[in-house]
Amino acid sequence: MSKNFRVLAAVTLAATLAAASGCSSSRDSDDSSSSSSSNLVGIAMPTKSLERWNNDGANLDALLKKAGYETSLQYADNKVDQQITQLQNMINLNPKVLVVASIDGTALGPVLEKAAAQKIKVIAYDRLINSTANVDYYATFDNYQVGKLQGEFIVEKLGLADGKGPFNLEPFAGSSDDNNAKFFFSGAWDVLKPYVDSGKLVIPSGKKLASNDDWKNVAIDGWTSQKAQSEMDNRLNSFYTGGKKVDVVLSPNDSLALGIEQSLESQGYKPGTDWPIITGQDADLANVKNILADKQSMTVWKDTRTLGEQVSKMVDQIIKGETVETNDTSTYNNGVKVVPSYLLPPVVVTKDDVKTKLVDSGFYTADKLGL
């Protein structure tokens, strides 16, 4: 873990030890369950245009209904104002708990103040909510580990630890408004940067990435495939002339990887011939098919069913006034406080274990993958 994170962890740990007693958010002192008489849980998802959130929303909604709760599930088309309005409308319904997968984690302070005034508890879902005290818990996958797995995969595939190289690398990062994106990038860059420094990895596009804090220099806002495709087109056209080839692409997730793969295809790269190593995340359907077609090397799978189960359990514990289960009370300082968190393990999936991991677990049917 980089120096910044160690410093951050040290500061937060001190704060946590001061704050933590059993695992309850600091706003519990007055009443562990919301004053709302309703049995309602509000679920705010960022968008339907990025595949996984459709699964997340539908899955959590079904689990909470099965647990006997009413739900209000809203998608915000990746528009921050729309999400704020949706949250305000939910708050007007006086739910017990709000579960929020934020678009821009720094933009929700004012509306969550209104939730706090009504003693509505807030769980940040997958993405941390920043710069406010009015978030009680955070449930996600280990975001730093996602990036670390992508970085380690590249090192192993290229034989970098055995001194192989130099190789041409093109790094990408996620949306600049997504708190997760810096963790993904830092996890990967902490593994890869030593090889960039030693010259075993070269970045022909010349992107300045002197430290993890430079991640926004390669951010793709909104996580869209289109923006990733045009960015890759630009890099290939500008910096890969005279037969120069890209050997490896660090893509933080599958929606970006899909755009990058479309760019490579349009530029004449051929799987099995000169196709580069490409990383991903989320096990989106099109990308798993690309993995089976040797157009993507791996994806970091985050079984969204397990996140839904964990969050529905936390909602239940909050509403019943029980101690809420967390397993990390140091990593995620949102700038105002350390948010008690539950981190789930991400898993690498390659062509060799698509069946055992994604089909045998029921995440996809063999039929859906064309297997």
Site residues (vs ligand GAL, CB under 6 A):
50, 52, 126-127, 174, 178, 180, 223, 253, 281-282, 302
Closer CB to ligand GAL, residue 16 or residue 253?
Answer: 253
Closer CB to ligand GAL, residue 170 or residue 177?
Answer: 177
Closer CB to ligand GAL, residue 153 or residue 223?
Answer: 223
| Closest separation in Å from C-beta 126 to ligand GAL | 5
CB 228 within 8 A of CB 251: yes
Measured CA to CA in angstroms, residue 71 lies from 29, 93, 137 at distances of: 26, 11, 19
Indicate the Cα dihedral angle 28, 32, 34, 37, nearest 10°. Answer: -160
| Closest separation in Å from C-beta 236 to ligand GAL | 24
Closer CB to ligand GAL, residue 127 or residue 357?
Answer: 127
| Closest separation in Å from C-beta 140 to ligand GAL | 7
Closer CB to ligand GAL, residue 167 or residue 183?
Answer: 183
| Closest separation in Å from C-beta 231 to ligand GAL | 16
| Closest separation in Å from C-beta 283 to ligand GAL | 10
Q: Which own/partner contact pairs does 286-292 have at CB distance under 8 Å and 24+ positions apart?
A: 286/254, 286/258, 287/254, 287/257, 287/258, 288/349, 288/354, 288/358, 288/364, 288/369, 289/369, 289/370, 290/257, 290/258, 290/261, 291/349, 291/350, 291/351, 291/354, 292/351, 292/354, 292/369, 292/370, 292/371
